[in-house]
A and B are shown apart, each in its own frame.
Chain A
């Protein structure tokens, strides 16, 4: 599993509440990514990080923020959850930039916004 842990694995939350998902790695990889997976769509990049305190937006970043204060942790925050953010969220890591090495994914977090 390449030492990636996502928490929580499942969460149900109410519309308008903030939610934080955590991705923890033990591999000391520099690059970390948050994706969402929805029926009818491929995985889509939300945000990524290329080092501590270095983050950038992906293609579906609206309504999400991230933080990386330590190499091993990458947090994804839904500032005010909406039903459209009901999804399965995956964290991924890679040793080098651009993922031109093998990509390792977490087990996913299923988030339901009611």
Chain B
């Protein structure tokens, strides 16, 4: 079983919809990262969380440490949000990040 599971794997939404991407993990962590990767492009860090909630523009990330779960929300989705969203966790006491397989989001006009 993967240590980091994302759902859904693929998501298609209409422009303007509210989107939620989920990340569950099975290990103790010190931080969780949400990353964005556009087709053919590099990887951009969106958030790093160790507790609570963070907001940047239309993006909101939450984490529940007790339940080992994080969500990434996109409000008023737009076609430019189409990308792969990747969850990554840093295990407690480790230098390494463990990545989920990503969620491919397509937002249709």
Contacts and interface: CB of A to CB of B under 8 A. Distances in A.
The interface centre, meaning the residue of B2, B96, B102 with most chain A CB atoms within 10 A of its CB, is B96
Determine the interface band of chain B, counting residues with CB < 8 A from chain A: 20 to 34
Contacts of B100: 42
Interface stretch (B13-21, B36-44, B57-65, B68-76): B36-44
A12 interface: no
B30 A100 contact: yes
Contacts of B101: 40-42
A99 B97 contact: yes
A48 interface: yes
Contacts of A34: none
Interface string B94-109: 1111111110000000
Interface residues of A, number: 27
Nearest to B47: A102
Contacts of A90: 42-43
Contacts of A74: none
Given A43-B88, A98-B90, A103-B97, A1 B42 contact: yes
Interface of B: 2, 4, 30-31, 33, 35, 41-45, 48, 86, 88, 90, 94-102
Given A42-B99, A43-B99, 8 more contacts: A41-B101, A43-B43, A56-B95, A90-B43, A98-B94, A102-B48, A105-B35, A108-B43
